[in-house]
Amino acid sequence: MAPGCLCGFRPGVGGAHARGGALTRHPSHSMFPHGGWVCGLSRRLLTPGGRALPAGAAQGVRRPLSSAPHAPQICIVGSGPAGFYTAQHLLKHHPQARVDIYEKLPVPFGLVRFGVAPDHPEVKSYGAEEKRELGIPGEELPGVYSARDFVGWYNGLPDNRHLCPDLSSDTAVILGQGNVAVDIARILLSPLELLRRTDVTRTALDSLTHSRVRRVWLVGRRGPLQVAFTIKELREMLHLPGTRPRLDPSDFQGLEDITKDLPRPRKRLTELLVKSALREPGEKDAAHWAQAERQWGLRFLRSPQAVLSSEDGGRAAGVRLSVTRLEGAGEAAVAFPTGRVEDIPCGLIFSSIGYRSLPISPALPFLARQGVIANSMGRVQESPGLYCSGWVKRGPTGVITTTMADSFDTAQAVLEDINSGVLSCSDPRAGAAAVRDLLLLRGVRPVSFSDWEKIDAAETARGVAVGKPREKILDPEEMLRLVRP
């Protein structure tokens, strides 16, 4: 899953706060509430991986830019990959630009810090603020969790630090077949010695140590040709130590004949699924699977209908699935109920059916059904000087490379508007100074980049002490005490 950022331009100051988007705009009273904190990053920019941008990143203009007496000052709200990639492109192609990035948390980097899985530091990815509801009876029962909350919990997102998921069931069902669903399955089934070497939170590691989960089903309403996870994620699951796959051969009959006509990424993924389900495993895999104490499997053509409760009604005890059929082919295939149902007993259920961005301000044109800001190539409709990038621009689709290309496109739209004169740099603007004055007026003390470096150093030191790359601080107030003795 990929992030979003809201970025806006009116040479100078920035506007509204968002997760799942980046924005550049004129001053807005909605940006900072009374009290609280703001993490501000400027001058020294880093890539989403946490490294400083190379010295040449601010050189080499792709197309000539109109000269202006005042350099453009750009505010980006949201310090996830969409925000940083947008900033990177702007600085690379307009050396005179000044970019300030604002974040609502005391720590930067968004999904890079709070993303999909601690054992995938190179691809951590999610970014919209709100999870999608299942809309079925029983989803409020204890034992039912959203993928977003669970991912935030084991990655140390402050909002999710009190989740305390109950992992006492031997069977877990994940409703969804995307990369986030596979990440959750892998975290639930991974040997502890592997997780101990990651930056998974201490709280999560303690809970996983006592977990009784031994079987995980990933459920999708469509078929093998529509799974949303990538081949890399599948390979890791197939070779996860101490774990074996359970794939029903009948789900894959006939797919060998049509793989040659599929796009290359889908072709390779389908070939691996078919090989794993229909062919005898090699000697190494056979020996590995024979000794496995845990298992995972894919269930296709199943749509959640209801969460079943325990006899006392106190918690989830299973999930009822509607058996579906497909009409159409490929990505356009649509699932329809057949009238048949199937129950899976389980005490742990995750909803991994996607995320939604939230409206940022009543003044912005927000399309609630799609969960995006109305825009054209990143230009927010009816809001000159305001741009968006990431999931708040295109919806919750794609991976980190999708976000990178998307952010570059938005940044290029800003540059084109500067070059064409749509955005004027002829008048001086207060820029970041106006934001500092606004923060002072509202009693908000910002967390600077140097402050973040103190938090970073403390987390790194705590991690080294226990043999991990980092031990994240979960409580924002504890973070602030480190920078405000």
> Roughly how many angstroms between the first and final C-alpha of the chain, as a whole number?
37
What values do phi and psi take at 221, rounded to 5? -80, -15
Cβ-contact 387, 7 below 8 angstroms: yes
The whole-angstrom separation of Cα 200 and Cα 167 is: 16
CB 242 within 8 A of CB 192: no
Query: How many whole angstroms separate alpha carbon 357 and alpha carbon 339?
Result: 33
Residue 245: both structure tokens together = 């796959």
CB 367 within 8 A of CB 376: no
Q: How many other β-carbons are positioned within 10 Å of the β-carbon of residue 62?
A: 11
Active site residues: 120, 183, 400-401
- Kindly calculate the radius of gyration of the chain based on its CA atoms and give it in whole angstroms: 24
Q: How far apart are CA 146 and CA 153, in angstroms?
A: 11
Identify the DSSP state of 351. Answer: E
Write the CB contacts of 291 (distance below 8 Å, at least 6 apart in sequence).
242
Answer for the pair 348, 143: CB distance below 8 angstroms, yes or no.
Answer: yes
- 3-state secondary structure at position 272: helix
| Phi–psi pair at 456, nearest 5 degrees | -60, -45
- Run of H or E including 86: helix 81-93
Element (H, E) at 99: strand 98-103
Q: Tokens 């961005």 sit at which residue?
A: 357
* Contact call for residues 387 and 407 (beta carbons, < 8 A): no
By the 8 A CB rule, do 2 and 397 touch?
Answer: yes
Q: 178 to each of 5, 126, 183, 227, 345, how far by Cα in Å?
A: 22, 12, 9, 7, 22
Q: Are 183 and 140 in contact (CB under 8 A)?
A: no
The token pair that represents 229 in the structure block: 């996870």
Residue located via tokens 């845990």: 294
For residues 110 and 99, the answer to whether their CB atoms sit within 8 Å is no
Which tokens go with 78?
């949201």
**Chain centroid, CA 172 distance in Å:** 22
